[in-house]
Chains A and B, each alone.
Chain A
């Protein structure tokens, strides 16, 4: 896959001296879903806003589809659709009219059939003539997506698209995003819901304090940094951990009735066989065994904590 967005040495600082982005270098591949993770104030929204032309960069270059985002802004912005974090709508307008405006702003001819198709996919077709103030928060967020899609963008920025929406709607949006990817749309997603990135992203970038801490394939990241935990539940709790189990660095939970053993699943020797053998030798009776994969969220939190320390 070729790169559709190439960012080099991007920095942004404000007049008050606040340094929001520092020397960000990032390439986004054509047709991928790229998840940008980071805590509040990390610079995710600023980065997106600069690429979309809402905020000016202090230094650095951005090429979109091989074109400079400042010199060839008409070309680059034409390819981009943006769903901002905040719901920003003219409350007194109707769904249809606000989508028509979005399409028109991008120089496209009026095409109500296409907008109706988008509204249909977003379960908004019944609301096409409703005023936006009459819609629920979840519906308004869907309207924001419909507006961004109304000019058929090749690149879609979703800035926290599912913040504050219910689980069902979130799943609907995931389906929509995956369908867009199928059609070849490149999607850049920022989210607080790590499960969202885990479910959809091809690659993950972690940004912290304005610096891009990491960019990696999601699967490889999970493989590299992902650890597994073996959860051992005992029939009866133990007051003291048997001496033979001490080398395994077990975490004891539930008043001594559960042991947690963390291991590297990619290692040649995980230590599980030896642990189970030693457990058997102690005479403890097992009730249940479970393994759990470390989530992207655990990796993310661990990374941010290391960054802060």
Chain B
């Protein structure tokens, strides 16, 4: 294992993040704050409490997850797609490192960026709603695992994408709808029975439910199921990436 290589990729990627700090940090924080203003404060004040939690506070975990998932995916996918696009991937492929170092560097950086954004959004939310965290350690575990697993998925998308359109395709058409329909803004118990069952096939439901449980001690699905879902998703992504590097799919001719 080459720790210098992991560090080099990680620092390089983080430098890019700080170079575009306005776009990287301010933009997601601003858009999430708008959600708080519109859904939390304006509409939320007219909504009933959900499981004893005010609507404004109820959507905080969902909003953090929404941002963290999309940011982890887009940062990781862009991180590995850009070297493919610019041709600099030759350097990664010809250096004496395995997929473990490459993935650790790129996914680690993307996960860090999204974690940073998630934490800032959490702090920002306290300006709008009173926030409590019932299980802080579980909250950190869920947040870190979500950042990591969605960065892994973003990495796969970056390898798969042949152009910028494809790079945006999965996050826009699959990830965002899954997050919105995964209970970011509502409890799935509010849905008709048939939709409650269908929604359980959406893996994001488990992540948001588990994350929300760590805040309010109330969940749509058992916390154990949520943890199993996120572990399974992480392992699946790692296996896919291992297969990509083993076969050279879309990276080595």
| CB-nearest residue of chain A to B12 | A101
| New contact pairs (4) apart from A97-B15, A101-B12, A104-B5, CB-CB < 8 Å | A54-B90, A54-B252, A77-B96, A93-B15
Complex partner residue of B93 from A14, A54, A76, A78, CB under 8 angstroms: A54
Q: Report yes or no: A103 in contact with B8, Cβ–Cβ below 8 A.
A: yes
* Complex: A101 Cα to B30 Cα, angstroms: 32
Chain B contacts for A82, CB-based, 8 A: 90, 94
Does A193 lie at the interface of the complex (its beta carbon under 8 Å from any beta carbon of B)?
Answer: no
Chain A contacts for B253, CB-based, 8 A: 14, 49, 54-56
Q: Report yes or no: A106 in contact with B82, Cβ–Cβ below 8 A.
A: no
Q: Report yes or no: A101 in contact with B94, Cβ–Cβ below 8 A.
A: no
With an 8 Å Cβ cutoff, the count of chain B residues facing the other chain is 28
Report how many A-B pairs have Cβ atoms within 8 Å: 86
Chain B contacts for A104, CB-based, 8 A: 4-5, 7-9, 11-12
Complex partner residue of A56 from B5, B16, B248, CB under 8 angstroms: B248
Chain A residues near B (Cβ < 8 Å): 14, 49, 52-56, 73-78, 80, 82, 84, 86, 88-93, 97, 100-109, 147
* Complex: A78 Cα to B9 Cα, angstroms: 17
Q: Report yes or no: B94 in contact with A53, Cβ–Cβ below 8 A.
A: yes
Return the CB mask of B80-93 against A: 1 if under 8 Å, else 0: 00110011101111
Does B2 lie at the interface of the complex (its beta carbon under 8 Å from any beta carbon of A)?
Answer: yes
- Interface majority SS (helix, strand, loop, mixed), chain B: helix
Chain B contacts for A101, CB-based, 8 A: 8-9, 12, 91
Q: Report yes or no: B252 in contact with A105, Cβ–Cβ below 8 A.
A: no
Q: Report yes or no: B8 in contact with A100, Cβ–Cβ below 8 A.
A: yes
Closest chain-B Cβ to A158's Cβ sits at a distance in Å of 14
Does B48 lie at the interface of the complex (its beta carbon under 8 Å from any beta carbon of A)?
Answer: no
| CB-nearest residue of chain A to B248 | A56
Q: Report yes or no: B88 in contact with A90, Cβ–Cβ below 8 A.
A: yes
Indicate whether A90 sits within 8 Å of B86 (C-beta atoms), given known contacts A101-B8, A104-B4, A107-B96.
yes
What 9 A-B pairs come out closest when comparing CB atoms? A104-B8, A88-B87, A105-B95, A107-B2, A77-B96, A52-B94, A74-B96, A78-B96, A55-B253
* Complex: A84 Cα to B86 Cα, angstroms: 13
